[in-house]
Amino acid sequence: MLVRIHYDHSKGKTSEIVSRSGSSLLQSRVFDALLHDEVETSKLLAHEGSLLTTHNYSFRLMGQAVLTGRRCYLLELNALRRDKHLLQGRAWVDTEDYGVVHIEPLLRPSQFDSS
Protein backbone atom coordinates (compact mmCIF):
# COMPACT_ATOMS: atom_id res chain seq x y z
CA MET A 1 0.00 0.00 0.00
CA LEU A 2 1.37 3.40 -0.98
CA VAL A 3 -0.22 6.23 1.00
CA ARG A 4 0.23 9.99 0.80
CA ILE A 5 -0.22 11.69 4.18
CA HIS A 6 -1.20 15.35 4.43
CA TYR A 7 -0.76 17.17 7.73
CA ASP A 8 -2.43 20.34 8.99
CA HIS A 9 -1.37 21.47 12.46
CA SER A 10 -4.90 22.51 13.43
CA LYS A 11 -6.76 19.54 11.88
CA GLY A 12 -4.34 16.62 12.04
CA LYS A 13 -3.58 14.15 9.26
CA THR A 14 -5.54 13.07 6.23
CA SER A 15 -4.56 10.19 3.99
CA GLU A 16 -4.79 9.44 0.31
CA ILE A 17 -4.24 5.87 -0.87
CA VAL A 18 -2.14 6.08 -4.02
CA SER A 19 -1.90 2.38 -4.82
CA ARG A 20 -2.57 -1.08 -3.37
CA SER A 21 -1.22 -4.53 -4.07
CA GLY A 22 -1.18 -7.87 -2.31
CA SER A 23 -3.73 -9.50 -0.04
CA SER A 24 -7.02 -7.58 0.15
CA LEU A 25 -7.77 -9.28 3.47
CA LEU A 26 -4.48 -8.07 4.97
CA GLN A 27 -5.08 -4.58 3.57
CA SER A 28 -8.61 -4.25 4.93
CA ARG A 29 -8.06 -5.88 8.31
CA VAL A 30 -4.59 -4.54 9.13
CA PHE A 31 -3.38 -1.67 6.97
CA ASP A 32 -6.70 0.15 6.56
CA ALA A 33 -7.33 -0.16 10.30
CA LEU A 34 -3.84 1.14 11.16
CA LEU A 35 -4.20 4.02 8.73
CA HIS A 36 -7.64 4.92 10.11
CA ASP A 37 -6.34 4.87 13.71
CA GLU A 38 -3.32 7.00 12.76
CA VAL A 39 -5.52 9.64 11.10
CA GLU A 40 -8.07 9.66 13.94
CA THR A 41 -5.37 9.90 16.62
CA SER A 42 -3.72 12.81 14.83
CA LYS A 43 -7.06 14.66 14.76
CA LEU A 44 -7.49 14.11 18.48
CA LEU A 45 -3.91 15.17 19.17
CA ALA A 46 -4.60 18.38 17.29
CA HIS A 47 -7.26 18.99 19.91
CA GLU A 48 -6.19 20.65 23.15
CA GLY A 49 -7.39 17.74 25.30
CA SER A 50 -4.42 15.57 24.41
CA LEU A 51 -1.58 18.06 23.98
CA LEU A 52 1.62 17.84 26.02
CA THR A 53 0.55 20.46 28.56
CA THR A 54 0.36 20.66 32.35
CA HIS A 55 -3.43 20.29 32.03
CA ASN A 56 -2.92 16.76 30.69
CA TYR A 57 0.43 15.62 32.12
CA SER A 58 2.80 15.89 35.02
CA PHE A 59 6.41 16.09 33.91
CA ARG A 60 9.59 15.05 35.70
CA LEU A 61 13.03 15.97 34.41
CA MET A 62 15.08 12.77 34.22
CA GLY A 63 18.21 14.38 32.79
CA GLN A 64 19.69 15.20 29.41
CA ALA A 65 20.57 13.04 26.43
CA VAL A 66 21.62 13.39 22.81
CA LEU A 67 19.15 12.02 20.27
CA THR A 68 19.61 12.27 16.50
CA GLY A 69 22.45 14.69 17.11
CA ARG A 70 20.31 17.05 19.18
CA ARG A 71 20.88 17.80 22.86
CA CYS A 72 17.63 17.09 24.65
CA TYR A 73 15.94 17.21 28.00
CA LEU A 74 14.63 13.76 28.89
CA LEU A 75 11.23 14.03 30.57
CA GLU A 76 9.02 11.44 32.24
CA LEU A 77 5.37 11.87 31.17
CA ASN A 78 2.53 10.91 33.50
CA ALA A 79 -1.06 11.38 32.31
CA LEU A 80 -3.23 13.20 34.82
CA ARG A 81 -6.36 11.24 33.87
CA ARG A 82 -7.31 7.97 32.23
CA ASP A 83 -7.77 8.66 28.54
CA LYS A 84 -6.94 6.41 25.60
CA HIS A 85 -5.21 9.33 23.88
CA LEU A 86 -2.89 10.14 26.79
CA LEU A 87 0.15 8.04 27.62
CA GLN A 88 2.71 7.21 30.23
CA GLY A 89 6.21 7.43 28.85
CA ARG A 90 9.21 9.58 28.09
CA ALA A 91 9.78 12.57 25.87
CA TRP A 92 12.98 14.02 24.43
CA VAL A 93 12.70 17.82 24.11
CA ASP A 94 15.31 19.91 22.27
CA THR A 95 17.24 22.12 24.72
CA GLU A 96 17.47 24.98 22.20
CA ASP A 97 14.03 25.29 20.61
CA TYR A 98 11.98 23.11 23.04
CA GLY A 99 10.59 21.10 20.14
CA VAL A 100 9.56 17.52 20.86
CA VAL A 101 12.16 15.29 19.20
CA HIS A 102 10.83 11.87 20.24
CA ILE A 103 8.13 10.34 22.44
CA GLU A 104 8.39 6.80 23.73
CA PRO A 105 5.28 5.33 25.38
CA LEU A 106 5.79 2.82 28.16
CA LEU A 107 3.60 -0.17 27.47
CA ARG A 108 2.00 -1.85 30.42
CA PRO A 109 0.21 -5.24 30.46
CA SER A 110 -3.14 -3.50 31.15
CA GLN A 111 -2.85 -1.73 27.77
CA PHE A 112 -3.19 -5.11 26.08
CA ASP A 113 -6.38 -6.11 27.91
CA SER A 114 -9.35 -6.46 25.61
CA SER A 115 -11.78 -5.15 28.23
pTM over 0.85: no
CA 49 to chain centroid: 14
* pLDDT mean by block of 10 residues, the chain; 115 residues: 81 85 88 84 65 89 95 95 86 93 76 46
CA 82 to chain centroid: 16
pLDDT the model gives residue 45: 63
- At residue 52, the 3 state secondary structure works out as coil
Q: What's the angle, vertex CA 4, arms to CA 94 and CA 28, rounded to 5?
A: 115
Closest to 108 (Cα-Cα) out of 82, 87, 90, 92: 87
Return d(Cα 99, Cα 72) in angstroms, integer: 9
